[in-house]
Structure 1
Amino acid sequence: MTTILRFPLVAATLLVGACVGVLLGVGQVPAAQSTATIYALAVAAYRAVSMLRDLFRGRWGIDLLAVMAIVSTLLVGEYIASLIIVLMLTGGDALEEFAHGRATRELKALLERAPRTAHRETPGKPVEEVPVGMVRSGDTLLVKPSEIIPVDGRLLSAAGAFDESSLTGESLPVEHVRGDTLLSGSVNGEEVIRLVASNTAADSQYSRIVALVQEAAASRAPTVRLADRYAVPFTVFAILLAGIAWFISHDPERFAQVLVVATPCPLLIAAPVAFLAGTSRAAHSGIIVKNAGTLEQLARVRTAVFDKTGTLTQGRPTLQDIYVSPAASGISAAGLIQLAASAEQSSSHVLASSVVDAARSRGLSLLPVSSANEHATQGVTAVCGNRTVVVGKASFVGPATSGFKRADLASGQLAIYVGVDGAFAGTLIMSDPLRKNAVATLEQLRRLGVQETMLLTGDTPSTAEHIAEEAGITRVLADCLPADKVAAVAGLNKRLVMMVGDGVNDAPVLAAADVGIAMGAKGATAASESADVVIMLDDLSKVAAAVDIGRHTIHIARTSIWTGILLSVGLMAMAAFGFVPAVAGALLQELVDLATILNALRALGQGRQSSSRHTERDTVSVGPERSLPPASLHGPKTKP
C-alpha cells in the first residue's frame, strides 16, 4: 500500500495494463484498445502540461519526444507499445526517486540524527529534559550512554569514548579526557558523561554540517545543466531521423518505432543522481561540498595553493627557546612568557593559544587584562596588570619598542617578539612542524592531475621555503598579507586553482580561488563560510580525497549521459531500418534507462585513486589563523 501511495501513476499504469490483458484474453480487442488509448492520452496530456511548465522556466526536456511517441504509437494502432512507454515514463520517475534516495542516504541520515533534546543539570534541581534549542552556553549537560551530544561543549567528566563517524567518517571510537572539546552530533560511548555547553544548538558543529549539506543538495551542477542542453539537439535529431525513416519507407509505423526508443530518461536523471551520490560520499567522509557544481570544478583543478600554518603544518607551534633582552630589567624568562601569554589570551590566533599553552604548562598564572587590541596579521597590544605589553611580528613590535633586536633563526623556526612598557623585552622561539601526511597528500594530488603546487604564507621566506621543500611544493610566496594572497591566486595561469586554508586571513583568498577548501575542524567561521568545500576534521589528506571524489563523480556523470545517448541513438538507427518493433523498442529503452541510472549510482563508490587510505590519526585542534612571522635568512621571523 505504501508503494502504491508513493508511485500512484506506476500503480495506475500496471492496473490499466492488467485490465487490457484481461480484455484481450476474453477477445474484447476494441475495448482493450479503447482503454489503453484513453489512459495513454490522459498521461500524454499530463506530460504535455509538465513540458510547457519547463519551457516557461527556460528548460527544454525530453517530454516532447515522450508525448510524440505516445501519440504516434496510438495513431498506428500500437496501443500496447504506448502503454509500455507510459510505464517507462512513470517507472522512470520511480527509479529517479529511488536513485535520489539511495544517493542522498548519508545526507538524510544527518538530518534524522540531529539532536532534539538535552538533559540539563541545574543546581538544587533534578536533571530536566529540555528541547535542544533551549540550551545556552555555560549550561551543564548530562549525556547518557549511546546518546548524541546535543551541542558543542567541553568535557567535565574524567574521560569518555565517542563515535564521531557522522562528523568525520572515522569509524573507530575517539577517546577524550577532561577539558577536551566535544562536537555535537558525535555519539557517547558506554558511560554517562557530563559536559558544559560552549555553543547553542544553532551555532554548534552539527547544525553547521546540516546547513551546508542542505545547501549542497539543493544546488544544480553545471554538468546537470549541460545534460539539459543535450536534450535540444537530441530531440531535433530524433524527429528528423523518424521523419526520414517514414519518408523512405512510406510506413508511418517507422516514425513511431524511432520515437519509441528516443526517450532517454537518463539524459536528465543520471547526471543529477551522480552528483547527489558524489555529494553524499563526500559528506560521509567528513567533506562538505557546498555546491554540486564544485564537484565538477574539483575534477578540473590543475593548481593547488596552500596556506602554511594550520594547513600544511600542525598549527600548534611549540616553544623551543626564550631570549630575554638585557635591556629588560627585572623580567625573567618565566616573566616574559607570563606577560606574553597574558596579552595573547585576548587573541584567538593559533600562535596565541600556543603561547598561552606554554605558560600554563610551566604553571604560570595569567595576569588580568584591562584592555586589548588585536591588529590583524600583526599582533596584540594589551594592558596586563599595570604593564603595557606588545606581542607579534618584528614589523609590529620593532617600531613600538626601543632596543629592538631581531632573532637569528634556524630553518623551520619562527619568532614571536615581546615589548613591555615601550622597551623590547625578548623573543619566544617556536617551531610548527609539517603535518605527517602532507607529503603523501601532495603526491596524491599530482597523481590526480594537479600540475602545479604553491605555498602562500605571511611567514618569512626562510621558514616558507623550508616547509615547501619538506612538503614537495614547487612555488613559494612569503611575507603575504591577505590582499597579496588574492593577487597571487588571480595571477596564476594554470586554471582551475584550488586554495586550501583555515584562518580568518584566508577567507578572501578562499573566496577568490576557483575552488576554496577550508580546514574547518576548529578553524575560523569566516574561512568556512567563504570556502566552496569545508573539511570537517583536521586531516589534510581529505583535500586529495575531495579532488578524487570530484573526478570520480564527473566521470560517472558524463559516462551516464553519453551511455544513455549512444544506446538510444543505436536503437533509433535500428528502428529506422525496421529492425525494432514498437513494443520491443519500448522494452529495450526501459533497460537503457535502468542501466544508466544504476551506472550513475556508482558515484557512491570509491574512485580508482581514492586517497582515503592517507589518513592522519593523530589529529590536532586548529584555531583561527593570523599569518606566521616573517623573517629573512639573516634575521628572525615575525609573527603575523
Structure 2
Amino acid sequence: MSSLVAAIHRYPLVATTVLLGLVGVALALFGETDVVRWLFSGFGLLVAGHETVGMVRRLRQGTFGIDVLAIMAIVATVLVSEYVATLIIVLMLTGGAALEDFAVNRAKRELDELLRRAPQIAHRLTGGGVVTDAGGEHARSGEVEDVPATEVRAGDLLLVRPAEIVPVDGELVSVSAAFDESSLTGESLPVERRAGDAVLSGSINGQAAATVRATRTAADSQYQQIIALVEEASASKAPVVRLADRYAVPFTAVSVSIAGLAWFVSGDPARFAEVLVVATPCPLLISAPVAFMGGMSRAARNGIIVKGGGVLEMLSRAKTVVFDKTGTLTHGTPTIARVLPQPGFGELELLALAASAEQYSSHVLAASVISAARSRGLKLTTTETANEVPAHGVYARLAGREVTVGKLSYIRDRAPDAVAAPLEGGELAIYLAVDGRFAGSIVASDRLRENAPQTMADFRALGLRDTVMLTGDAQPTAEHIAALVGIEQVQADCLPVDKVNAVRALTHRPVIMVGDGVNDAPVLAIADVGIAMGARGATAASESADVVILIDDLTRAARAVAIGRDTIRIALQSIWLGIVMSLGLMLLAAFGFIPATVGALLQEFVDLVTIVNALRAIGGRRDAAVKAQLAAREPVATGAFAR
C-alpha cells in the first residue's frame, strides 16, 4: 500500500488519468456521455496546456521531442469529439514518461555505499603514544581519544585496531603491519608495510594493531579522492536522448504536412483533424518504454540489474570492453596453486604440517591452506605450543616436531638452506621449516574464472573486438592473465585515477567497463556503461555501475550486451511498425476514407500491435535458446590456473 501511495505522489498525472477513466466508465454506464465528453476533453486540454509549457521550455534548450505531436493530437481529438481517444493519448503520454522516469531513477543511489564506508572515527594517540609489536604482544603508551576523521591533521599519531579501516593517508610508525588494499588497488593479497612506508586511507588493517602518522587530512586522502571521482564522473555523464525523440522531427513534419495538404486540397478543416487522429504518436511514446521495461525484466531474470532504458541502448552500441582483473577476471580470493616439497617430504605431508600450524594464524592465507588440506581429506594435528609473529609467520610444535610456517626471511632464520619458490605473476609463496630443516613451499594464486575465456569469445561474437585490461596488479601478472583470456591491451599498476584517465582516452566508443570493488567505482561511473560484478552484495562498485550482475558469472556481462541489442532491435521494430501503419492510415484519412471515429479505433489497433511487438523484449524464448546453447558448450580450459 505504501508503494502505491508513493507511486501516486510521484506520478500524479498518470494516477489522475486512470482515476478519470474509471469515473468516466461509471458515468457512461448511467448514460452520462455528455459529462464524460466534457470531463475527458477538459482534462485533455489541461494536460496539453501543461505539456505545452514544458515543450516551450525544452525548445528553448534546443530539444524537440515527440510530445509536440502528442499535444496536437490531443487538441485534434477534442475538436472532433473523440474524447475516449483524448484520454488514451493522455495516458500514453504520461504513462510512457513515467515508465522512463521509473527506470532512470533506479540509478540515482551511486554514492550511498561509498559514503557509508568512508571512515568516520579516528583513534588519536596523545602524549606520544606508540603501539609496538613484540612477539605478538602489543605494548602501548599514551592515551587514546576518539575524534571525527575530519579533525585529523597531518602529524597526528593514530591507532588503527585490527580489521579497522585506515581513516586518512599516513605513514606506518609500527615496525610492520599487513593491510588489505583490495578496495583501492584491486590486489586480493594483503600488502605488507614496514616503518616509514605509506599507508592509504580506505585500506583495512590486518590482525595486529598498528600506529600510523597522518600525512594528509581526510579530505585530501585517497578514499575521499575516490568519492570525489565518482561524483565528478556521475555529474559529467550526459543524459541519454529518448529513443522516440530521434524520430520526433521527421514524423511530426510528415504528419502535419499530410494533414495540412489534405485540408488544403479538400477545403475541409475536419480533414486536418482526421489525419492527426490516426497520426497520434502513441506507438512512439509507449512502444520504446515497454520494450525497455521488457528488456530490463529479461535482464533481471538473468541475474542482471540494468538501471534504465538508456543503459540498454548504450549496451547495444558498445564498441570497446574494459576489464578489471582481481575479482572480475579472477575469483578475487587466494587459493593454493601447488605444493613444492623438498626431498624427504611429500606434498600431502607438507600441506598437512602447514595446515596444522596455520590453525593458529590470523593470516589471510591460513584459511586457504587449511581449506586445501581438508579438501584432500588430511587430518590436522593439534599443537603442543604455538606462537604467531604478526606479518612473519607461525611457530608450532606438532607431535614432537618443530614446524615453522611463514615468509622466506622468517624461515631462513631457522633453516638457512631455504630457497625462494619459482613464482608466476600474481603468486605468493609461504615457506616451511621442520626441525630446523627447509621442508618446502606452498604457492597460492588468485584463480582465473573458468568462464573468462568464453566471455571474451562471447564479446568477440557480438562484435566487441577491442578488449582492454586495467589493473592495480604488476605488469607480469596482468600480462599473464590477459594472455590466458585473450585480451589485447593491458595497463597495469593502476590507481583509480589512472583507470579513469585510461577509459577517458579510449576513442572507440561507447565503452563498457566491467569491474568489482571500491577501486573500480570511479571508472565504472565514468565509462559509458559500467558493469559491476556485485554477487557478493551491495558495494560501491554496484552503486556506481549502470549494470549490476547479481550472479557470480562473468559471462552475464556479455549476455547483458546481447539483451541490450535485442531490446533496442525490438524497440526500433515497434517504432517503425507504428510509423509505417500510421503513415498508411494518414494517407487513407487524407483522401477521406477514414472518418475520425473509425480513425481513432484504428489508431488504437496500431497502438496494440506495436505494444504487443514491444513485449517480445521480455525474451522468454530467447532465454530458453541461450540456456540450451550453454548446456551444449564444452568446458573451456583455463591454462595454468585450471584445477
Indicate how the Cα distance of structure 1 residues 540 and 612 shifts in structure 2: closer, same or farther if over 3 A, else same.
farther
Matched with 2:317 is: 300
Within 5 Å, which residues of 2 pair with 1:412-423?
414-416=427-429
Please state if 1:279 is matched with 2:288. Answer: no
Matched with 1:227 is: 244
Please state if 1:551 is matched with 2:565. Answer: yes
2:422 aligned partner, one-letter code: D
Indicate how the Cα distance of structure 1 residues 19 and 579 shifts in structure 2: closer, same or farther if over 3 A, else same.
farther
1:86 aligned partner, one-letter code: T
Indicate how the Cα distance of structure 1 residues 517 and 370 shifts in structure 2: closer, same or farther if over 3 A, else same.
farther
> How many Å separate the matches in 1 of 2:544 and 2:490?
23
Structure 1 residue ranges without an equivalent (≥5): 24-31, 74-78, 108-219, 325-331, 373-379, 618-636
CA contact (8 A) 2:74 2:86 kept: no
Q: Offset of 1:616 from its aligned partner?
A: 9.6
String of CA shifts for 1:135-161, please: whole Å, max 9, x gaps: xxxxxxxxxxxxxxxxxxxxxxxxxxx
Q: Offset of 1:480 from its aligned partner?
A: 4.5
Matched with 1:248 is: 265
Within 5 Å, which residues of 2 pair with 1:96-495?
225-228=242-245, 230-231=247-248, 234-316=251-333, 317-322=335-340, 345=362, 354-355=368-369, 357-358=371-372, 363=380, 407-409=421-423, 414-416=427-429, 428-459=442-473, 461=475, 463-495=477-509
1:255 aligned partner, one-letter code: F
Matched with 2:606 is: 592
CA contact (8 A) 2:388 2:395 kept: yes
Matched with 2:71 is: 64
CA contact (8 A) 1:407 1:415 kept: no
Indicate how the Cα distance of structure 1 residues 287 and 333 shifts in structure 2: closer, same or farther if over 3 A, else same.
closer
Structure 2 residue ranges without an equivalent (≥5): 1-14, 107-236, 343-349, 397-403, 633-640
Q: Offset of 1:446 from its aligned partner?
A: 1.8
String of CA shifts for 1:111-135, please: whole Å, max 9, x gaps: xxxxxxxxxxxxxxxxxxxxxxxxx
Q: Offset of 1:593 from its aligned partner?
A: 0.9
Structure 2 SS opposite 1:225: coil
CA contact (8 A) 2:470 2:490 kept: yes
> How many Å separate the matches in 2 of 1:341 and 1:488?
43
CA contact (8 A) 1:440 1:614 kept: no
String of CA shifts for 1:325-370, please: whole Å, max 9, x gaps: xxxxxxx987877888877x466xxx67535645777637899999
> How many Å separate the matches in 2 of 1:54 and 1:230?
19
CA contact (8 A) 1:541 1:615 kept: no
> How many Å separate the matches in 1 of 2:432 and 2:515?
30
CA contact (8 A) 1:14 1:87 kept: no
Q: Offset of 1:274 from its aligned partner?
A: 1.6
2:74 aligned partner, one-letter code: V
Q: Offset of 1:246 from its aligned partner?
A: 1.1
Structure 1 SS opposite 2:271: helix
CA contact (8 A) 2:521 2:545 kept: yes
1:320 aligned partner, one-letter code: R
Matched with 1:199 is: none
> How many Å separate the matches in 2 of 1:94 and 1:526?
34
String of CA shifts for 1:178-236, please: whole Å, max 9, x gaps: xxxxxxxxxxxxxxxxxxxxxxxxxxxxxxxxxxxxxxxxxx99666242464455445
1:604 aligned partner, one-letter code: I
Matched with 2:20 is: 9
Give me the TM-score of the superposition, normalised by structure 1.
0.58
Q: Offset of 1:447 from its aligned partner?
A: 1.9
1:557 aligned partner, one-letter code: A
CA contact (8 A) 2:96 2:285 kept: no
CA contact (8 A) 1:552 1:607 kept: no
Indicate how the Cα distance of structure 1 residues 45 and 358 shifts in structure 2: closer, same or farther if over 3 A, else same.
same
Indicate how the Cα distance of structure 1 residues 566 and 549 shifts in structure 2: closer, same or farther if over 3 A, else same.
same
1:414 aligned partner, one-letter code: E
String of CA shifts for 1:445-469, please: whole Å, max 9, x gaps: 2222212223344455555444434
Matched with 1:509 is: 523
Give me the TM-score of the superposition, normalised by structure 2.
0.58
> How many Å separate the matches in 2 of 1:391 and 1:295?
50
Indicate how the Cα distance of structure 1 residues 284 and 251 shifts in structure 2: closer, same or farther if over 3 A, else same.
same
String of CA shifts for 1:574-623, please: whole Å, max 9, x gaps: 22222322222111111111111122211111585875456699xxxxxx
String of CA shifts for 1:521-563, please: whole Å, max 9, x gaps: 2278233233222211211221121111111112222222233
> How many Å separate the matches in 1 of 2:495 and 2:430?
19
CA contact (8 A) 2:96 2:289 kept: no
Matched with 1:130 is: none
CA contact (8 A) 1:254 1:576 kept: yes
CA contact (8 A) 1:437 1:616 kept: no
Indicate how the Cα distance of structure 1 residues 368 and 277 shifts in structure 2: closer, same or farther if over 3 A, else same.
farther
Q: Offset of 1:500 from its aligned partner?
A: 1.9
1:449 aligned partner, one-letter code: G
> How many Å separate the matches in 2 of 1:558 and 1:262?
18
Indicate how the Cα distance of structure 1 residues 526 and 464 shifts in structure 2: closer, same or farther if over 3 A, else same.
same
> How many Å separate the matches in 1 of 2:329 and 2:619?
28
RMSD: 5.2
Q: Offset of 1:406 from its aligned partner?
A: 5.7
CA contact (8 A) 2:294 2:618 kept: yes
> How many Å separate the matches in 2 of 1:252 and 1:57?
30
Matched with 2:165 is: none
